[in-house]
A and B are shown apart, each in its own frame.
Chain A
Amino acid sequence: QVQLVQSGAEVKKPGASVKVSCKTSGYTFTGYYMHWVRQAPGQGLEWMGWINPDTGGTNFAQKFQVRVTMTRDTSISTVNMELSSLISDDTAIYYCARAHSIGGYSYGYYDYWGQGTLVTVSS
């Protein structure tokens, strides 16, 4: 069965960086784009960007473009999201979410989600 298992909670100081990993299993890793979505405490969902695990190509929301990096390691079927220059407003649960694919074409709705990783930014 498809599984997305994320790394554990992190506490970071303002100005630091955080790296969250998402280890996948149960499907062809390179066949599905992976997106990252975050959710501040008690708030809604915010799309951050995606990575194509096959090519490593990425696309980010303008808001995060200068601060986010997404990478993949095909040998361990894992994608990573790194966010730099953290501020308190970056305190949120970060989710990886697999985008549905049909015939090799990726559509932007999410059929599987990781369990979420809480990132707390506090001095």
Chain B
Amino acid sequence: DIVMTQSPDSLDVSLGERATINCKSSQSVLYSSNNKNYLAWYQQKPGQPPKLLIYWASTRESGVPDRFSGSGSGTDFTLTISSLQAEDVAVYYCQQYYSSHTFGQGTRLEIK
């Protein structure tokens, strides 16, 4: 199985500042035939199911604010929130769907 490792486990960021969450896969999730990275990001707020933010590593889901962006390729990926808002407090998960499906352990984002 592909193991997904996120860093850090938790993150405190001031309102309006940039938040960066990293995700590393134990093997590449880049499919060479279509040059797509099979990597998604989700946001989960307390008491709610996860919400899709990003797929194909960098494609923003419809309705997701443009302060959320995804980058990276192969085995190293980043979710960036350019200007943290209060409503962004949540746990964030990366997920690979290249080979079966596995999630990172989650990163808890709070306001400093």
A binding-site residues for B, Cβ under 8 Å = 35, 44-47, 61, 95, 97, 100, 107-111, 113-116
Which residues does chain A contribute within 8 Å of B97, judged by CB atoms? 107-109
Which residues does chain B contribute within 8 Å of A109, judged by CB atoms? 40, 52, 55, 95, 97
Contact with B93, one of A44, A97, A111 (Cβ below 8 angstroms): A44
* CB of B49 to closest CB in A, whole Å: 4
* CB of A95 to closest CB in B, whole Å: 5
Stretch of B17-25, B77-85, B102-110 at the chain-chain interface:
B102-110
* Complex Cα spacing A114 to B50, Å: 10
Contact with B106, one of A44, A47, A113 (Cβ below 8 angstroms): A44
* Complex Cα spacing A46 to B50, Å: 12
Number of interface residues of B (CB under 8 A): 19
* Complex Cα spacing A109 to B49, Å: 14
Given the known interface contacts A44-B93, A45-B93, the answer about A111 and B52 at a Cβ–Cβ threshold of 8 Å is: yes
* Complex Cα spacing A61 to B42, Å: 21
* Complex Cα spacing A47 to B99, Å: 12
B101 at the interface (CB under 8 A from A): yes
* CB of A64 to closest CB in B, whole Å: 12
CB 8 Å contact bits of B31-68 with A (1 = contact, 0 = none): 00000001010100000011110010000010000000
Which residues does chain A contribute within 8 Å of B103, judged by CB atoms? 44-47
Contacts A44-B104, A47-B103, A97-B50 known; 14 new A-B pairs at CB < 8 A: A35-B101, A44-B93, A44-B105, A47-B102, A61-B100, A108-B97, A109-B52, A109-B95, A110-B42, A110-B52, A111-B61, A113-B49, A113-B50, A116-B49
**B61 near A47: Cβ-Cβ < 8 Å:** no
* Complex Cα spacing A97 to B42, Å: 12
